[in-house]
Amino acid sequence: MQQLFDNRYYQWLDYVDNLVEEKRVITAVILMSDHDLPFINQTLKNLARRDFYNEYKGHFPISDWGRLLCGWVSSYSRRDWDPVVAADELYAAAKGAGTNEDLFIN
């Protein structure tokens, strides 16, 4: 566990690059800050020409927690989401008989 903090970027990139076991990847994602995730994604693109989100969305569990982690990983790309548009889209997603859970998670 100590290696997740000391030289964490190298460790996380190793986890991502080598498709290590799911639990280690999930632990790394949970420990990443809002600043770490874009850095890891850009570094992976530069080194391996791969996108972190696209690389791992198929490796997260299909449970609610897995969907939440996928949303968390992809959320850095929506930082510029206009608040008014976001409110309207979220309202529409919750309105009516069904809820668009994917919109809330992402």
- The residues spanned by each domain of the chain are 2-105
pLDDT category at 2 given cuts 50, 70, 90 is low
Residue 60 confidence (pLDDT): 65
pLDDT category at 23 given cuts 50, 70, 90 is confident
Residue 57 confidence (pLDDT): 67
Report phi then psi at 50, rounded to 5. Answer: -130, 155
Residue 77 confidence (pLDDT): 55
Amino acid 38 reads: P
pLDDT tens sequence across 82-95: 778 878 888 888 88
Report phi then psi at 31, rounded to 5. Answer: -80, -15
Residue 97: DSSP 8-state? S
Check whether 10 has a pLDDT greater than 80: no
pLDDT category at 17 given cuts 50, 70, 90 is low
Distance, in Å, from the CA atom of 41 to the CA atom of 57, rounded to the nearest integer, reads 13
Nearest to 60 by CA among 99, 104, 8, 16: 16
